[in-house]
Amino acid sequence: MRRSRATSSTTTRVRGPVSDASPRPPALHAIAATHPRADDDDECAAEYKRRIACDPERLSNLRFAFAIVLAGVRESKQAMQKTRFDEDAKIDASTRELVQGLFDDHSFMDGENIKRVAPLLRAAAAQASECSVLTNEDDDEWLEETGVWQVRQRSRAVLRLFDCVQCGACRIHGKVAWFGVATALKLIYSDASTRPLCRVEVAALLTTLAKLATAVRFAEEMEEICCEQAAA
């Protein structure tokens, strides 16, 4: 397996949602390291252009993942109200207040585009289907899988895939991020939005939302710097 160049002396100084782990890294790679690691914007912009800006599809994947998680958080309002965040009453109350503040920010949660995400995803999943052949001794049997079932199966497969990652930190961050995405999909595609969430689901969902928001903001900052450099 090729070692990721993120371990080199050059890239460890770079801030932002970048990774060379694969030729076309998915959105999860884009949130692997979103905290600033250098004060040199020119150096950051150079790495951003080399790894991300050269392929607009990577930015599209990042924004799409952010939209899914944001829609999942929006769908979780009723579930959050029923969720017990901690056994300690004071911690539970303070956490509930923080979470409620997220939903009270109407400019953040009630944007027209965000409102449309969950219904569009549900409509697409309802129409999608895939036939799989099951072979037995007598005859072949076709089994139709709905779009929602495919999402569930592939979500579990991706989560298991992270067990193959050798780096312990990458494996943990990847699992938390994907579990956050999986929780968002669960809220969008099932009736989970009407039932309490477990604390692990809440933590993964909100952590992934924060990471994606930071990554999207970083990408916007780098785009501005790249435009300024091009105009200079």
pLDDT-derived band at 207 (thresholds 50, 70, 90) equals: very high
The residue-averaged pLDDT of 178-203 equals 87
What does the mean pLDDT of the chain come to?
Answer: 75
Whether the pLDDT of residue 101 is over 80: the answer is yes
Q: Are 143 and 132 in contact (CB under 8 A)?
A: yes
- The residue count of the chain comes to 232
Listed in order, strand segments (DSSP E) in the chain are 129-135, 140-146
**Residue found under tokens 């990774």:** 19
CB 171 within 8 A of CB 158: no
Task: Spell out the domain ranges in the chain.
Answer: 5-231
C-alpha distances (whole Å) from 167 to each of 4, 31, 40, 51, 103 are 10, 16, 28, 21, 36
> 96-105, 111-120, 203-212: lowest mean pLDDT where?
111-120
> What are the pLDDT digits (tens) for 2-59?
333 333 333 333 334 433 433 334 555 544 444 445 557 778 888 888 888 888 888 8
For the four alpha carbons of 200, 206, 209 and 211, in that order, the dihedral sign comes to negative
